[in-house]
Amino acid sequence: MSIASNLANSITAGVQTSDPNGGGLGVKSLANTFDQKNSTCVDIARSYPWTQTKLDNRNDIPYIRLVEYRNNESILKRQAKFYSQQAFTSIKDAVNGTFSNGDASGLLSVYDEIWPTTNPTNWSYIFPYFNKTQFELTTPEWSKIDPPDLAGAGNATAGGLEKLGFKNLSTLIGGAVAVGELAMAGAELAVKAVSPQVGTVDRPRVFTEHSSRSITISFPLYNTIKQDDWKNNRDFYYRFASQNLFNKRDFITGLPPVWYTVYVPGQYYSRASSVTNFNVENLGNSRLAYGSYIVPDAYQITITLQEMLMPSLNQFQAILPNGSNQVTVK
């Protein structure tokens, strides 16, 4: 058996590779992904040689679970679908005078239009997870509200209404703007009369965002416990790397890397995270196998995942014990 055929048979054994975007331009140059029809869970924590602990004694190992998805929609289609939905909802709420409080059927359903989970690759991963951080939340300083530009906003509104034929209403708004500017001028004059401080230092503030979070997973994979461990270890990191690489489709287009939902029992949940760092380090002595593979005593795997959604109460409460929307892991 040749080196190339040995590599191909080992990597694709039991895995149905496919082109999720077949039929388009330039597909002859598109490399195979490992997307498959049936679900497969790669349970590193309980089945792979990252520890000398026997398999029967690993039920209490802390773990992190990743479920893999792929976005195969065009940018224009995604933008039109998301922003048209947002515009429709805003107009409907404005007409009715009410605004939605979210879908009561699920805390996470509010993210369905942003990161839909309708296109899974059918790969999931369970990694051993040991981290000193139980919970982390960083919020930048709330932004100060600047003084309103009554003239600019009012004149723009009045002009738009006049073009639409609402001349009387535009005149009314113009008068209101003039009154508002007069009131602001009077307030500023009063401040200057009683205080040496000019301008408003303490102003109302508005919340802008929570800072996104990243999470790092690190574990070894030993190649020396059993004879064929290195093949399974190599195939795992080859598949994982392949799924997280940009796949060039033709001169212009390509298939983006996958993204993941991330779950740590009772501690952490992210609806959408991407791999920002994947590092495989050789540990110990290395030897040449099959004349083509450099096999070390162990691989040190490091994976960093960056959230693509702002931390929210929805995602936090989805993992709380006994919650009606608790994330479950099969």
Residues 162 and 291 in one domain: no
Residues 23 and 44 in one domain: yes
Residue ranges making up the domain that contains 170: 143-206
Sign of the torsion formed by the C-alpha atoms of 241, 243, 246 and 249: positive
What is the C-alpha separation between 305 and 227, in angstroms, rounded? 32
Contacts of 221 (CB under 8 A, 6+ apart): 44, 48, 49, 50, 229, 233, 236, 237, 298, 299, 300, 301
Q: What's at 114, amino acid-wise?
A: I
147 contacts 185 by C-beta, under 8 angstroms: no
Residue 108: inside a domain:
no
pLDDT digits (tens, 9 = 90+) for 109-162: 888 888 989 999 999 999 999 999 999 999 999 988 776 555 555 555 555 545
Residues 308 and 249 in one domain: yes
What is the C-alpha separation between 46 and 68, in angstroms, rounded? 19
Q: Locate 253 and state its tokens.
A: 């287009």
Residues 42 and 19 in one domain: yes
pLDDT digits (tens, 9 = 90+) for 165-181: 555 555 655 666 565 66
Q: Locate 313 and state its tokens.
A: 């109460």
Sign of the torsion formed by the C-alpha atoms of 326, 130, 136 and 213: negative
Using alpha carbons only, give the angle 254, 258, 261 rounded to the nearest 5 degrees: 155
Count of CB atoms within 10 A of residue 234's CB? 20
Q: Locate 286 and state its tokens.
A: 């290395």
Residue 100 predicted with pLDDT over 60: no
pLDDT digits (tens, 9 = 90+) for 249-301: 777 778 899 999 999 998 999 999 999 999 999 999 999 988 888 999 999 99
What's the pTM value of the predicted model, to 2 decimals?
Answer: 0.73
11 contacts 235 by C-beta, under 8 angstroms: yes
Residues 294 and 178 in one domain: no
Contacts of 305 (CB under 8 A, 6+ apart): 66, 214, 215, 216, 217, 260, 262, 270, 273, 274, 275, 276
Residue 30: inside a domain:
yes
- pLDDT range class, residue 2, cuts 50, 70, 90: very low
Report how many domains make up the chain. Answer: 2
Residues 27 and 161 in one domain: no
Q: What is the DSSP letter of 239?
A: H
Residues 292 and 178 in one domain: no
pLDDT of 71 reads 87
Rg value, the chain, Cα:
28
Q: Locate 221 and state its tokens.
A: 């994979």
The mean pLDDT value of the chain amounts to 77
